[in-house]
Structure 1
Amino acid sequence: MSDPIILAIDTATEACSVAVNGVAECQVEANAHSQILLPMISRVLQRAGLVLGDLDAIACGVGPGGFTGVRIGVSTAQALAMARGLPVYPVSSLQALAAATVQPSVLAALDARKGEVYAAVYVQDERTGLPVLQGEERVCPPGAVAWPHEGGYWGLGSAWPLYHSEWQQDNVLGWTEDAYPQADAVLRLALARHLGGDEGCRPDQLEPHYIRPFLPQDQQK
Protein backbone atom coordinates (compact mmCIF):
# COMPACT_ATOMS: atom_id res chain seq x y z
CA MET A 1 0.00 0.00 0.00
CA SER A 2 1.38 3.40 -0.95
CA ASP A 3 1.76 6.21 1.53
CA PRO A 4 -1.13 8.69 1.74
CA ILE A 5 -0.80 12.03 -0.01
CA ILE A 6 -0.69 14.64 2.74
CA LEU A 7 -0.50 18.38 2.19
CA ALA A 8 1.37 20.05 5.05
CA ILE A 9 1.54 23.71 6.02
CA ASP A 10 3.15 25.75 8.78
CA THR A 11 2.63 29.47 9.33
CA ALA A 12 3.40 29.76 13.05
CA THR A 13 6.49 31.97 12.61
CA GLU A 14 7.86 34.41 10.04
CA ALA A 15 8.34 31.39 7.77
CA CYS A 16 5.36 30.35 5.64
CA SER A 17 5.90 26.87 4.23
CA VAL A 18 4.03 24.18 2.31
CA ALA A 19 5.00 20.61 1.43
CA VAL A 20 3.52 17.61 -0.37
CA ASN A 21 5.00 14.47 -1.94
CA GLY A 22 8.63 15.54 -1.70
CA VAL A 23 7.97 19.05 -2.99
CA ALA A 24 8.32 21.95 -0.55
CA GLU A 25 8.43 25.73 -0.59
CA CYS A 26 9.22 28.20 2.18
CA GLN A 27 9.17 31.98 2.27
CA VAL A 28 10.32 34.03 5.26
CA GLU A 29 8.24 37.19 5.24
CA ALA A 30 6.53 38.44 8.38
CA ASN A 31 2.91 39.60 8.20
CA ALA A 32 2.40 38.29 4.66
CA HIS A 33 1.07 34.79 5.25
CA SER A 34 -2.50 35.68 4.37
CA GLN A 35 -1.34 36.83 0.92
CA ILE A 36 1.22 34.15 0.09
CA LEU A 37 -0.12 30.92 1.59
CA LEU A 38 -2.80 29.98 -0.96
CA PRO A 39 -0.64 30.81 -4.01
CA MET A 40 2.15 28.78 -2.41
CA ILE A 41 -0.19 25.81 -1.98
CA SER A 42 -1.19 26.04 -5.64
CA ARG A 43 2.44 26.18 -6.80
CA VAL A 44 3.54 23.24 -4.67
CA LEU A 45 0.62 21.08 -5.81
CA GLN A 46 1.35 21.97 -9.43
CA ARG A 47 5.04 21.15 -9.06
CA ALA A 48 4.09 17.79 -7.53
CA GLY A 49 1.66 17.07 -10.36
CA LEU A 50 -1.29 17.00 -7.99
CA VAL A 51 -4.63 18.68 -7.45
CA LEU A 52 -6.62 19.09 -4.23
CA GLY A 53 -8.75 16.10 -5.16
CA ASP A 54 -5.67 13.85 -4.96
CA LEU A 55 -5.10 14.58 -1.27
CA ASP A 56 -5.78 12.04 1.47
CA ALA A 57 -5.22 14.38 4.44
CA ILE A 58 -4.03 17.80 5.56
CA ALA A 59 -1.31 18.36 8.18
CA CYS A 60 -0.94 21.68 9.93
CA GLY A 61 1.55 23.22 12.32
CA VAL A 62 -0.73 24.53 15.04
CA GLY A 63 1.79 26.52 17.07
CA PRO A 64 2.89 27.75 19.44
CA GLY A 65 3.85 30.85 17.52
CA GLY A 66 2.46 34.16 16.34
CA PHE A 67 -1.27 34.33 17.00
CA THR A 68 -2.20 35.66 13.56
CA GLY A 69 0.11 33.26 11.73
CA VAL A 70 -1.20 30.25 13.61
CA ARG A 71 -4.81 31.25 12.94
CA ILE A 72 -4.12 31.63 9.21
CA GLY A 73 -2.62 28.15 9.00
CA VAL A 74 -5.34 26.49 11.05
CA SER A 75 -8.22 28.20 9.23
CA THR A 76 -6.72 27.37 5.83
CA ALA A 77 -6.20 23.73 6.78
CA GLN A 78 -9.77 23.53 8.08
CA ALA A 79 -11.23 25.06 4.94
CA LEU A 80 -9.32 22.75 2.60
CA ALA A 81 -10.11 19.67 4.67
CA MET A 82 -13.80 20.51 5.03
CA ALA A 83 -14.16 21.14 1.31
CA ARG A 84 -12.77 17.67 0.54
CA GLY A 85 -13.93 15.76 3.60
CA LEU A 86 -10.37 15.03 4.66
CA PRO A 87 -8.88 14.26 8.06
CA VAL A 88 -6.35 16.67 9.54
CA TYR A 89 -3.19 16.10 11.55
CA PRO A 90 -2.33 18.84 14.06
CA VAL A 91 1.42 19.04 14.66
CA SER A 92 3.26 21.09 17.26
CA SER A 93 5.36 23.74 15.57
CA LEU A 94 8.04 23.25 18.23
CA GLN A 95 8.18 19.54 17.38
CA ALA A 96 8.40 20.44 13.69
CA LEU A 97 11.28 22.78 14.56
CA ALA A 98 13.07 19.96 16.38
CA ALA A 99 12.46 17.62 13.45
CA ALA A 100 14.22 19.99 11.06
CA THR A 101 17.71 19.06 12.28
CA VAL A 102 19.90 15.97 12.44
CA GLN A 103 20.84 16.88 15.99
CA PRO A 104 19.48 14.13 18.30
CA SER A 105 18.81 16.38 21.31
CA VAL A 106 17.25 19.80 20.82
CA LEU A 107 16.42 22.80 22.96
CA ALA A 108 13.64 24.36 20.87
CA ALA A 109 12.80 27.98 21.65
CA LEU A 110 10.73 30.54 19.74
CA ASP A 111 10.39 34.22 20.56
CA ALA A 112 6.93 34.67 22.12
CA ARG A 113 7.20 38.47 22.38
CA LYS A 114 6.35 40.29 25.63
CA GLY A 115 9.70 39.16 27.07
CA GLU A 116 8.75 35.49 26.91
CA VAL A 117 9.68 32.40 24.93
CA TYR A 118 8.00 29.21 23.82
CA ALA A 119 10.35 26.45 24.92
CA ALA A 120 10.58 22.65 24.88
CA VAL A 121 13.14 19.86 25.01
CA TYR A 122 13.03 17.19 22.32
CA VAL A 123 15.13 14.03 22.05
CA GLN A 124 15.28 11.87 18.95
CA ASP A 125 13.67 8.44 19.22
CA GLU A 126 16.32 5.85 18.25
CA ARG A 127 13.79 3.67 16.43
CA THR A 128 11.86 6.27 14.43
CA GLY A 129 14.41 9.07 14.28
CA LEU A 130 11.66 11.54 15.21
CA PRO A 131 11.82 14.06 18.08
CA VAL A 132 9.96 13.12 21.26
CA LEU A 133 8.90 15.77 23.78
CA GLN A 134 10.62 15.60 27.16
CA GLY A 135 8.37 17.10 29.83
CA GLU A 136 6.06 19.76 28.38
CA GLU A 137 6.04 22.75 26.08
CA ARG A 138 5.78 25.99 28.00
CA VAL A 139 5.73 29.76 27.68
CA CYS A 140 7.76 31.75 30.22
CA PRO A 141 10.45 34.44 30.58
CA PRO A 142 13.81 33.25 29.18
CA GLY A 143 15.35 33.25 32.65
CA ALA A 144 12.70 30.81 33.87
CA VAL A 145 13.50 28.18 31.25
CA ALA A 146 14.93 25.11 32.96
CA TRP A 147 17.09 23.43 30.32
CA PRO A 148 18.57 20.00 31.23
CA HIS A 149 22.10 20.02 32.63
CA GLU A 150 22.96 16.46 31.61
CA GLY A 151 23.71 15.33 28.06
CA GLY A 152 24.54 17.42 25.01
CA TYR A 153 21.94 19.63 23.32
CA TRP A 154 21.64 21.90 20.30
CA GLY A 155 19.60 25.12 20.40
CA LEU A 156 17.09 25.89 17.64
CA GLY A 157 14.64 28.70 17.05
CA SER A 158 14.17 32.46 16.93
CA ALA A 159 14.66 32.91 20.69
CA TRP A 160 18.27 31.72 20.62
CA PRO A 161 19.78 34.82 18.96
CA LEU A 162 17.96 36.92 21.55
CA TYR A 163 18.66 34.98 24.73
CA HIS A 164 21.61 32.65 24.11
CA SER A 165 23.74 34.58 26.62
CA GLU A 166 21.24 33.67 29.35
CA TRP A 167 21.30 30.02 28.31
CA GLN A 168 25.04 29.42 28.30
CA GLN A 169 25.67 25.94 29.71
CA ASP A 170 28.48 23.45 29.25
CA ASN A 171 26.07 20.97 27.66
CA VAL A 172 24.76 23.43 25.03
CA LEU A 173 26.86 22.41 22.05
CA GLY A 174 25.74 25.33 19.88
CA TRP A 175 22.69 26.93 18.36
CA THR A 176 21.27 27.73 14.94
CA GLU A 177 20.08 31.28 14.33
CA ASP A 178 17.81 31.01 11.29
CA ALA A 179 15.83 27.86 12.13
CA TYR A 180 12.07 27.82 11.65
CA PRO A 181 9.35 25.15 11.78
CA GLN A 182 9.00 23.79 8.25
CA ALA A 183 6.11 22.12 6.45
CA ASP A 184 8.29 19.23 5.27
CA ALA A 185 8.93 18.36 8.92
CA VAL A 186 5.20 18.70 9.67
CA LEU A 187 4.60 16.28 6.80
CA ARG A 188 7.11 13.72 8.09
CA LEU A 189 5.61 13.84 11.59
CA ALA A 190 2.05 13.49 10.29
CA LEU A 191 3.00 10.62 7.98
CA ALA A 192 4.70 8.77 10.85
CA ARG A 193 1.55 9.12 12.94
CA HIS A 194 -0.58 7.83 10.07
CA LEU A 195 1.67 4.80 9.61
CA GLY A 196 1.38 4.20 13.35
CA GLY A 197 -2.40 3.97 13.10
CA ASP A 198 -3.38 7.57 13.86
CA GLU A 199 -6.28 8.50 11.57
CA GLY A 200 -6.11 12.22 12.35
CA CYS A 201 -9.08 14.28 13.46
CA ARG A 202 -12.05 16.05 11.92
CA PRO A 203 -11.41 19.57 10.57
CA ASP A 204 -13.71 21.12 13.17
CA GLN A 205 -11.53 19.58 15.89
CA LEU A 206 -8.40 21.36 14.68
CA GLU A 207 -7.44 24.10 17.13
CA PRO A 208 -4.50 26.48 17.56
CA HIS A 209 -1.93 25.47 20.18
CA TYR A 210 -1.23 28.88 21.70
CA ILE A 211 -0.06 27.61 25.13
CA ARG A 212 -0.86 31.01 26.65
CA PRO A 213 -4.37 32.52 26.54
CA PHE A 214 -5.33 34.55 23.50
CA LEU A 215 -6.26 38.12 24.45
CA PRO A 216 -7.97 40.82 22.35
CA GLN A 217 -4.78 42.90 22.25
CA ASP A 218 -3.04 39.97 20.56
CA GLN A 219 -5.27 40.31 17.49
CA GLN A 220 -2.48 41.70 15.32
CA LYS A 221 0.41 39.70 16.78
Structure 2
Amino acid sequence: MTSKILAVDTATENCSVALKIGDDVIARCEMAPREHTTKVLPMVDEVLAEGGITLNQLDALAFGRGPGSFTGVRIGIGIAQGLAFGADLPMVGISTLAAMAEQVHRLQGGEQVISAIDARMNEIYVAQFTRQNNGDWLENHPEAVTRPEQFCPENLDGQWLLAGTGWQAYPDLAERLNLSVSKEGVLFPESQDMVALADFALSRGEAVAAELASPIYLRDTVTWKKLPGRE
Protein backbone atom coordinates (compact mmCIF):
# COMPACT_ATOMS: atom_id res chain seq x y z
CA MET A 1 0.00 0.00 0.00
CA THR A 2 1.45 3.34 -1.02
CA SER A 3 -1.19 5.77 0.19
CA LYS A 4 -0.19 9.16 1.59
CA ILE A 5 -2.35 9.70 4.67
CA LEU A 6 -2.38 12.27 7.46
CA ALA A 7 -4.06 11.29 10.75
CA VAL A 8 -5.19 13.53 13.60
CA ASP A 9 -6.46 12.36 16.98
CA THR A 10 -7.58 14.28 20.08
CA ALA A 11 -10.27 11.87 21.33
CA THR A 12 -8.54 11.22 24.66
CA GLU A 13 -6.04 13.01 26.90
CA ASN A 14 -3.41 12.18 24.30
CA CYS A 15 -2.91 14.48 21.31
CA SER A 16 -1.25 13.04 18.22
CA VAL A 17 -0.62 13.51 14.51
CA ALA A 18 0.98 11.12 12.02
CA LEU A 19 1.89 11.16 8.35
CA LYS A 20 2.16 7.94 6.34
CA ILE A 21 3.99 7.98 3.02
CA GLY A 22 4.19 4.45 1.69
CA ASP A 23 5.77 2.38 4.46
CA ASP A 24 7.26 5.38 6.27
CA VAL A 25 5.47 7.03 9.19
CA ILE A 26 6.33 10.37 10.79
CA ALA A 27 4.57 10.96 14.10
CA ARG A 28 4.13 13.47 16.88
CA CYS A 29 2.47 12.63 20.18
CA GLU A 30 1.98 14.52 23.45
CA MET A 31 -0.15 14.19 26.55
CA ALA A 32 -2.06 17.49 26.56
CA PRO A 33 -5.54 17.05 28.10
CA ARG A 34 -6.54 20.70 27.82
CA GLU A 35 -4.26 21.91 25.04
CA HIS A 36 -5.43 19.98 21.98
CA THR A 37 -6.48 23.08 20.08
CA THR A 38 -3.05 24.68 20.44
CA LYS A 39 -0.97 21.54 19.86
CA VAL A 40 -2.50 19.85 16.84
CA LEU A 41 -1.89 22.27 13.97
CA PRO A 42 1.81 22.84 14.83
CA MET A 43 2.18 19.05 14.88
CA VAL A 44 0.56 18.87 11.44
CA ASP A 45 2.97 21.48 10.10
CA GLU A 46 5.94 19.60 11.56
CA VAL A 47 5.13 16.18 10.07
CA LEU A 48 4.29 17.65 6.65
CA ALA A 49 7.54 19.61 6.62
CA GLU A 50 9.54 16.57 7.68
CA GLY A 51 7.84 14.48 5.02
CA GLY A 52 8.43 17.14 2.36
CA ILE A 53 4.79 17.06 1.32
CA THR A 54 1.78 19.38 1.31
CA LEU A 55 -1.83 18.72 2.23
CA ASN A 56 -2.82 18.81 -1.44
CA GLN A 57 -0.51 15.88 -2.17
CA LEU A 58 -2.24 13.56 0.31
CA ASP A 59 -4.67 10.81 -0.63
CA ALA A 60 -6.82 11.11 2.49
CA LEU A 61 -7.10 12.54 5.96
CA ALA A 62 -7.84 10.17 8.84
CA PHE A 63 -9.17 11.16 12.23
CA GLY A 64 -9.88 9.51 15.56
CA ARG A 65 -13.68 9.17 15.37
CA GLY A 66 -14.05 8.03 18.97
CA PRO A 67 -15.18 6.71 21.27
CA GLY A 68 -13.60 9.07 23.77
CA SER A 69 -14.08 12.45 25.35
CA PHE A 70 -17.06 14.28 23.82
CA THR A 71 -15.08 17.52 23.60
CA GLY A 72 -11.91 15.81 22.42
CA VAL A 73 -13.68 13.95 19.63
CA ARG A 74 -15.36 17.17 18.47
CA ILE A 75 -12.06 19.06 18.46
CA GLY A 76 -10.36 16.35 16.41
CA ILE A 77 -13.04 16.06 13.77
CA GLY A 78 -13.38 19.84 13.54
CA ILE A 79 -9.68 20.34 12.90
CA ALA A 80 -9.54 17.40 10.49
CA GLN A 81 -12.53 18.71 8.54
CA GLY A 82 -10.96 22.14 8.26
CA LEU A 83 -7.79 20.65 6.82
CA ALA A 84 -9.71 18.33 4.48
CA PHE A 85 -11.96 21.10 3.18
CA GLY A 86 -8.97 23.30 2.43
CA ALA A 87 -7.19 20.60 0.44
CA ASP A 88 -10.30 18.87 -0.99
CA LEU A 89 -9.40 15.57 0.67
CA PRO A 90 -11.63 12.60 1.49
CA MET A 91 -11.81 11.65 5.17
CA VAL A 92 -11.85 8.35 6.98
CA GLY A 93 -12.74 7.86 10.64
CA ILE A 94 -10.72 5.40 12.69
CA SER A 95 -11.87 3.77 15.91
CA THR A 96 -9.80 4.77 18.92
CA LEU A 97 -10.35 1.28 20.33
CA ALA A 98 -9.04 -0.38 17.16
CA ALA A 99 -6.10 2.03 17.10
CA MET A 100 -5.08 0.84 20.55
CA ALA A 101 -5.28 -2.77 19.39
CA GLU A 102 -2.92 -1.87 16.53
CA GLN A 103 -0.60 -0.16 19.01
CA VAL A 104 -0.53 -3.29 21.18
CA HIS A 105 0.56 -5.24 18.11
CA ARG A 106 3.19 -2.65 17.19
CA LEU A 107 4.71 -2.53 20.67
CA GLN A 108 4.05 -5.99 22.08
CA GLY A 109 3.24 -8.21 19.11
CA GLY A 110 -0.24 -8.94 20.42
CA GLU A 111 -2.80 -10.40 18.03
CA GLN A 112 -5.77 -10.67 20.42
CA VAL A 113 -6.67 -7.45 22.21
CA ILE A 114 -9.48 -6.07 24.34
CA SER A 115 -9.51 -2.27 24.38
CA ALA A 116 -11.42 -0.43 27.11
CA ILE A 117 -11.59 3.33 27.74
CA ASP A 118 -12.95 4.79 30.97
CA ALA A 119 -16.23 6.41 29.86
CA ARG A 120 -16.94 7.92 33.30
CA MET A 121 -20.38 7.53 34.91
CA ASN A 122 -19.37 3.96 35.93
CA GLU A 123 -19.15 2.83 32.30
CA ILE A 124 -16.50 1.83 29.76
CA TYR A 125 -16.15 2.02 26.00
CA VAL A 126 -14.98 -1.45 25.01
CA ALA A 127 -14.33 -3.72 22.03
CA GLN A 128 -12.55 -7.02 21.41
CA PHE A 129 -10.26 -7.58 18.41
CA THR A 130 -8.36 -10.36 16.65
CA ARG A 131 -5.66 -9.53 14.11
CA GLN A 132 -6.14 -11.05 10.66
CA ASN A 133 -3.47 -12.42 8.32
CA ASN A 134 -3.56 -9.27 6.19
CA GLY A 135 -2.91 -7.05 9.23
CA ASP A 136 -6.46 -5.76 9.61
CA TRP A 137 -8.53 -6.36 12.74
CA LEU A 138 -11.71 -8.39 13.23
CA GLU A 139 -14.17 -7.25 15.91
CA ASN A 140 -15.02 -10.25 18.08
CA HIS A 141 -17.11 -8.00 20.29
CA PRO A 142 -18.31 -4.79 18.61
CA GLU A 143 -17.76 -1.36 20.12
CA ALA A 144 -20.10 -0.72 23.02
CA VAL A 145 -20.61 1.45 26.07
CA THR A 146 -21.48 -0.64 29.09
CA ARG A 147 -21.04 -1.03 32.80
CA PRO A 148 -17.84 -3.02 33.49
CA GLU A 149 -19.70 -5.81 35.26
CA GLN A 150 -21.97 -6.27 32.24
CA PHE A 151 -19.21 -6.71 29.66
CA CYS A 152 -19.17 -10.28 28.33
CA PRO A 153 -16.42 -10.86 25.76
CA GLU A 154 -16.36 -13.64 23.22
CA ASN A 155 -14.20 -16.76 23.60
CA LEU A 156 -11.07 -15.88 25.61
CA ASP A 157 -8.96 -18.83 24.48
CA GLY A 158 -5.30 -18.01 23.93
CA GLN A 159 -3.42 -14.92 25.08
CA TRP A 160 -5.38 -11.68 25.30
CA LEU A 161 -3.64 -8.37 25.87
CA LEU A 162 -5.41 -5.36 27.32
CA ALA A 163 -5.33 -1.72 26.28
CA GLY A 164 -6.89 1.50 27.53
CA THR A 165 -7.68 3.36 30.73
CA GLY A 166 -10.74 1.24 31.49
CA TRP A 167 -8.68 -1.53 33.04
CA GLN A 168 -7.03 0.80 35.53
CA ALA A 169 -10.30 2.56 36.35
CA TYR A 170 -12.09 -0.74 36.99
CA PRO A 171 -9.52 -3.35 38.09
CA ASP A 172 -12.28 -5.79 39.08
CA LEU A 173 -13.08 -6.18 35.37
CA ALA A 174 -9.77 -7.86 34.53
CA GLU A 175 -9.99 -9.98 37.67
CA ARG A 176 -13.48 -11.18 36.74
CA LEU A 177 -12.27 -12.16 33.26
CA ASN A 178 -9.14 -13.82 34.69
CA LEU A 179 -6.91 -11.47 32.68
CA SER A 180 -3.83 -9.57 33.86
CA VAL A 181 -3.16 -5.88 33.32
CA SER A 182 0.39 -4.93 32.31
CA LYS A 183 1.83 -1.89 34.06
CA GLU A 184 3.57 -1.00 30.80
CA GLY A 185 0.42 -1.45 28.76
CA VAL A 186 -1.12 0.81 26.13
CA LEU A 187 -3.37 3.48 27.66
CA PHE A 188 -4.21 5.90 24.85
CA PRO A 189 -4.62 5.74 21.05
CA GLU A 190 -1.99 7.27 18.76
CA SER A 191 -2.30 8.58 15.22
CA GLN A 192 0.62 6.51 13.96
CA ASP A 193 -1.53 3.43 14.46
CA MET A 194 -4.52 5.09 12.82
CA VAL A 195 -2.67 5.64 9.55
CA ALA A 196 -2.00 1.90 9.37
CA LEU A 197 -5.71 1.17 9.81
CA ALA A 198 -6.71 3.95 7.42
CA ASP A 199 -5.22 2.07 4.47
CA PHE A 200 -7.58 -0.83 5.14
CA ALA A 201 -10.52 1.54 5.57
CA LEU A 202 -9.73 3.18 2.24
CA SER A 203 -9.54 -0.19 0.51
CA ARG A 204 -13.01 -1.00 1.89
CA GLY A 205 -14.39 2.20 0.41
CA GLU A 206 -15.04 3.87 3.77
CA ALA A 207 -13.71 7.32 2.81
CA VAL A 208 -16.30 10.11 2.71
CA ALA A 209 -16.40 13.76 1.72
CA ALA A 210 -15.35 16.11 4.52
CA GLU A 211 -18.89 17.38 5.09
CA LEU A 212 -20.09 13.81 5.70
CA ALA A 213 -17.42 12.84 8.24
CA SER A 214 -18.96 12.08 11.61
CA PRO A 215 -17.80 11.04 15.09
CA ILE A 216 -18.81 7.99 17.10
CA TYR A 217 -19.93 8.66 20.65
CA LEU A 218 -21.64 5.31 21.47
CA ARG A 219 -23.40 7.00 24.37
CA ASP A 220 -26.49 8.48 22.70
CA THR A 221 -28.30 9.74 25.76
CA VAL A 222 -27.17 10.89 29.17
CA THR A 223 -29.39 11.25 32.20
CA TRP A 224 -28.17 14.04 34.46
CA LYS A 225 -29.14 14.03 38.12
CA LYS A 226 -30.08 17.43 39.48
CA LEU A 227 -28.02 18.72 42.34
CA PRO A 228 -29.90 19.17 45.63
CA GLY A 229 -31.69 22.53 45.77
CA ARG A 230 -31.54 23.10 42.00
CA GLU A 231 -34.42 22.99 39.56
Q: Would you say same fold, with TM above 0.5?
A: yes
Amino acid in the other structure paired with 1:180? F
In 1, the alpha carbon distance for the partners of 2:178 and 2:222 equals: 37
| TM-score normalised by L of structure 1 | 0.89
Work out whether 1:118 is the aligned partner of 2:117: no
Amino acid in the other structure paired with 2:13? E
Alpha-carbon contact 2:8-2:76 (below 8 Å) kept:
yes
Among 194, 212, 220, the alignment partner of 1:213 is: 220
Look up the match of 1:15: 14
- Return the index of the structure with the highest Cα Rg: 2
Q: Which moved more, 1:104-113 or 1:206-215?
A: 206-215
- Residue 135 of structure 1 deviates from its aligned partner by 3.0
In 2, the alpha carbon distance for the partners of 1:206 and 1:170 equals: 36
In 1, the alpha carbon distance for the partners of 2:164 and 2:16 equals: 16
Work out whether 1:183 is the aligned partner of 2:187: no
In 2, the alpha carbon distance for the partners of 1:124 and 1:13 equals: 23
User: Which runs of structure 2 are paired with 1:1-221 in the superposition (5 Å)?
Assistant: 3-21=2-20, 22-102=25-105, 103-125=110-132, 127-148=133-154, 150-151=156-157, 152-169=159-176, 172-175=179-182, 176-194=184-202, 196-198=203-205, 200-213=207-220
In 2, the alpha carbon distance for the partners of 1:216 and 1:47 equals: 46
**SS, match of residue 132 in structure 1:** strand
Deviations for 1:169-206, whole angstroms, at most 9, x for unmatched residues? 56525445442111011100111233x35261111111
Gaps of 5+ in 2: 225-231
- Residue 149 of structure 1 deviates from its aligned partner by 5.0
How many residue pairs are counted as aligned between the two chains? 214
Residues 170/139 of structure 1: CA separation in 2 closer, same or farther (3 Å cut): closer
In 2, the alpha carbon distance for the partners of 1:5 and 1:214 equals: 37
In 1, the alpha carbon distance for the partners of 2:185 and 2:204 equals: 35
Residues 200/170 of structure 1: CA separation in 2 closer, same or farther (3 Å cut): closer
Q: CA RMSD in A?
A: 2.0
In 1, the alpha carbon distance for the partners of 2:222 and 2:45 equals: 33
Alpha-carbon contact 2:174-2:181 (below 8 Å) kept:
no
Residues 215/174 of structure 1: CA separation in 2 closer, same or farther (3 Å cut): closer
Amino acid in the other structure paired with 2:5? I
| TM-score normalised by L of structure 2 | 0.85
